[in-house]
Amino acid sequence: MLFRLAVTPGETDWAPVDPITQAALGAIVGALMLGRQLGRPAIGWGALFGLLPGIDFLLLPFVDTVWDLRIHRGFTHSLLFVVPLAWLLAKPLSKRWKKHKVTPARAGWFVFLALAGHVLLACFTVSGAQVLWPVPMPPVSLDNLPASDPLFALPLLVAVVRGLFIEAKRWKKGAGLRFTAVCLAISSAYVGVSFWAKSAVSRAAVADLDRRGISWQRKMEAPAPCSILLWRVVARHGDELWVGYRSIFDGDKPLQWTIFRKDTAALDEWDEHAEVATVRWISKDWCLGRPRAGGIWLVDLRFGEYREWDARGLALRPVHAWDYRLETRGDPMKTTIKDDRDTKAMMARLWRRICGDQEGWEDRPRLIGDPGRPHEFLGSVR
């Protein structure tokens, strides 16, 4: 996908990191590691290995939803895949590039860094990656970048395009390496800025909750779509999940919170079912449940929600939600995502919210998408 412009205010991560960014980072690794030896082909080889961990998507059509959640970004994003593969391919690639005098050590490090770059990008997002697979621990996620961020990817793409126009003889002399390194440094600096912004938002959220006298057990912050200018905060307060948005341009404005009832009792009741336990595990228990006859509706609240404004206020439809039913033929857990959405209106309000328009973003909130009820009115704190 070409920078899929997700319109969910929270994270674009119901989809993987966009392949263009993954390929671009791999191409940069190829240029820096093998540019002098191979010339322009190094960019292609780097892009190939930069995409390789994503081959797990080939399995998804053959598994049900719960196995999709378990295996995606699992083995192929783990050290158990990256390290042995780099070691196994070191000598064959060195032999293939023998006339270019590529040593096994350099070939192995190239493969390792290209694969690791893909995994690192996944760890920057909310979905994360199961780096220590098969150790039974939730995916590692730093929650500091959206899945598609043009500002992060642009310097990488500029370096790749420029490298493709450099002649082989000039590559041999090191032409373009410094420019490529500078572009990588710019993107790396952007990652550093994302951690600063995340920290600033975290401090503002803590101060806001403390000012209101709200005791919270844990919290998380993740960027909204396409940039690190707007952040989504989720804080747990007892059996409630408080969700608020903060722009880096908000200054001293207080956060406006929407309150979701988690319903831990319902989740605990259904936890013996593998599907429910998997959602709780993969979401690090940032989820809510709504029981109904013969099943339960599950929502992963780490991700954003589709927003629809109407005469009754603001309708929030979760991005990641599943309807789990016991008496269902085939896959017992099905996603509940609406296909037709007014993306233009949502993106317009999103950018206005980045600029500080809180009133146009928040309204009388209600939760929709639950097959067991038409809507659920939510509490809010301003």
Q: Are residues 186 and 228 in the same domain?
A: no
Q: What CA–CA distances, in Å, run from 235 to 56, 200, 354?
A: 32, 16, 21
Q: Are residues 183 and 297 in the same domain?
A: no
Please give the Cα distance from 110 to 45 (Å, whole number): 10
Please give the Cα distance from 205 to 199 (Å, whole number): 10
Please give the Cα distance from 54 to 319 (Å, whole number): 22
Question: Three-class SS of residue 293?
Answer: coil
pLDDT over 60 at 214, yes or no: yes
Number of domains in the chain: 2
Tokens 């590529």 belong to residue = 102
- What's the domain range around 105? 19-195
Q: Are residues 209 and 326 in the same domain?
A: yes
Q: Are residues 93 and 173 in the same domain?
A: yes
Question: Phi/psi of residue 297, each to 5°?
Answer: -95, 130
Whether the bond into 104 is cis, omega within 30 of 0: no
The DSSP output letter for 77 is: G
pLDDT over 80 at 257, yes or no: yes
* Burial environment of residue 246 by CB neighbours within 10 A (0 to 12, 13 to 18, 19 or more): buried
Least confident of 1-15, 59-73, 99-113, 172-186: 1-15
Is 210 within 8 Å of 201 (Cβ atoms)? no
User: What is the structure's pLDDT at 342?
Assistant: 66
Last residue within a domain, chosen from 149, 166, 195? 195
pLDDT over 80 at 9, yes or no: no
Q: Are residues 184 and 208 in the same domain?
A: no
pLDDT band at 339 (very low <50, low <70, confident <90, very high): low
CA 178 from chain centre, in angstroms, equals: 30
User: What is the structure's pLDDT at 76?
Assistant: 94
Q: Are residues 354 and 236 in the same domain?
A: yes
Q: Are residues 266 and 335 in the same domain?
A: yes
As a whole number, mean pLDDT of residues 315-331 equals 88
CA atoms within 13 A on the CB side of 135: 12
- The string of pLDDT tens digits covering residues 228-256 is 999 999 999 999 999 999 999 999 999 99
Q: Are residues 29 and 54 in the same domain?
A: yes
The amino acid that residue 375 corresponds to is H
User: What is the structure's pLDDT at 17?
Assistant: 61
**202 belongs to a structural domain:** yes
Please give the Cα distance from 284 to 300 (Å, whole number): 9
CA atoms within 13 A on the CB side of 77: 26
User: What is the structure's pLDDT at 6?
Assistant: 38
Tokens (6 digits) for 163: 């490298």
As a whole number, mean pLDDT of residues 166-186 equals 91
Q: Are residues 174 and 212 in the same domain?
A: no
pLDDT band at 8 (very low <50, low <70, confident <90, very high): very low
Last residue within a domain, chosen from 195, 222, 240? 195
pLDDT over 70 at 2, yes or no: no
The amino acid that residue 16 corresponds to is P
pLDDT over 80 at 4, yes or no: no
Is 37 within 8 Å of 98 (Cβ atoms)? no
Question: Three-class SS of residue 110?
Answer: helix
Query: What would the DSSP string read from start to end of 244-274?
Result: EEEETT-TTPPP-EEEEE--HHHHHHHTTSH
- The strand pairing partners of 377, in sequence order, are 366
Last residue within a domain, chosen from 195, 214, 234? 195
Q: What CA–CA distances, in Å, run from 33 to 62, 100, 102, 174?
A: 37, 13, 10, 11
